[in-house]
Chains A and B, each alone.
Chain A
Amino acid sequence: MDTTRRELLIQFSKVLVLTGTAARALDKAGEAPEPGDTYQMAAHWWGMIIDIDKCIGCGNCVRACSKENDVPEAYFRTWVERYQVNEDRDHPMVESPNGAIDGFPPTTRSDVKSFFVPKLCNHCADSPCTQVCPVGATFISPDGVVLVDPDYCLGCRYCIQACPYGCRYFHPQKEIADKCTLCYHRITKGLTTACCEACPTGARQLVDLKNPKDPVHEFLRNNKVQVLKPYMATEAKVFYKNLDGSVR
């Protein structure tokens, strides 16, 4: 009786060890950095600056992001809102037709203050979305980009609930939480993000806060700068110049 039980235990642990080794091998395959990679994560702290006075609401950024990242239709990693604010500042008229992927139908109203606000993930340094993830599928990278591990996310959607800015969505095909990656695959190669590349007026600009020569330092020093929902204390890293107080 006892011998059979011991034998069974030994066989069982052998199976476990073999499974574990196989799992580890599969894990390593296809995920090593390419040879000749010189990108140092510790040398960067990414963010974005947006100049409200320059945005013309053309929607190029939304289209570019959608093409660069295969964003599913009706979901948005970035979008543009148009505000029309009269003296009742508690009730601005806001619209974002299909996220502004086709721009906006023109408005001629001159009796109100109107402007465009591009929005995206703020890549918060103290993000509530990474705080609530139960398994560590969403996180902030050492260079300041909040990312989702597509092979680890359960699709519980807690992070989508926790984001104060509405920048996350549930990918209908992959069935995971998804959002702006700050084009991590581009910026780690020295390129800029798709939205910044496509922006015709330079309203959106990728910035690196750890780079002493980056224009962000002058931008932050010389302008009236805001982040969205500052009372949420998320340490957002998308900085808006001349953002009106009525913007939510």
Chain B
Amino acid sequence: MRFFRDAGHLVRPAVVLLAGLAAFLVIRSAVVPKDFGQYGHYRPAALNLIRQRPLAFAGQGTCVACHDDQAAARAAGRHAHVACEACHGPQAKHTEDPVGSKPVLPDVAMLCRRCHEKDAAKPKSFPQVVTAEHSVGLACNTCHQPHNPHL
């Protein structure tokens, strides 16, 4: 009995610590989403959040649905496996508003050079030229039709 009287003060810090622990547990159950940990140690809501990002590139399947004549020309040539937006840039906006949002073609010379300028690191079988010697100042599409470029 006397022990408890002499040790009684020790209850106080124990109570403070336990109260802190209890407060923490209450806060935790209120703030952490109930489905946290459903698939792993994360909020499942994050998956849908990330999926909701709007598209910038429409994907060539969507382009071809309307522009079948250009797609046919392309399919017959060496650029058959080059996606539309690889040259025309992201066009998801254009698919939503075909009249109001028209694609703007970047500078042709720069566009072609990016792939076809000769570089020792490029695969030998890949068509590449030293444009300064090859084009003699002319734009590439003077001779090559971009959708079906082989002459």
Say whether A235 faces chain B, with CB atoms less than 8 Å apart: no
Does A152 lie within 8 Å of B46, measured CB to CB? Answer: yes
Does A106 lie within 8 Å of B57, measured CB to CB? Answer: no
A-B contact count, CB below 8 Å?
Answer: 158
What is the bound-complex CA distance between A33 and B59, given in angstroms?
A: 22
Does B27 lie within 8 Å of A202, measured CB to CB? Answer: no
Does B121 lie within 8 Å of A147, measured CB to CB? Answer: no
Contact of B49 among A136, A149, A194, A199 (CB under 8 A): A149
Does B46 lie within 8 Å of A147, measured CB to CB? Answer: yes
- Secondary structure call for the B interface: loop
Does A106 lie within 8 Å of B119, measured CB to CB? Answer: yes
Chain B: CB-nearest residue to A202 = B81
Does B115 lie within 8 Å of A200, measured CB to CB? Answer: yes
Say whether A107 faces chain B, with CB atoms less than 8 Å apart: yes
What is the bound-complex CA distance between A109 and B86, given in angstroms?
A: 28
**Which residues of A, 15-34, contact B by the 8 Å Cβ criterion?**
16-17, 19-21, 23-24, 27-28, 30-34
**In the complex, given contacts A141-B47, A181-B50, what are 12 additional A-B residue pairs having Cβ atoms less than 8 angstroms apart?**
A24-B34, A30-B49, A53-B123, A57-B119, A83-B121, A108-B120, A116-B122, A136-B40, A152-B43, A184-B51, A198-B57, A200-B79
Chain A residues proximal to chain B, CB less than 8 Å: 13, 16-17, 19-21, 23-24, 27-28, 30-34, 41, 53-60, 64, 67-69, 82-84, 103-104, 106-110, 114-116, 136-142, 147, 149-152, 181, 184-186, 188-189, 191-192, 194, 197-202
Chain B residues proximal to chain A, CB less than 8 Å: 26-27, 29-31, 33-34, 36, 39-43, 45-57, 59-61, 79, 81-83, 85-86, 89-90, 114-115, 117-123, 126, 128
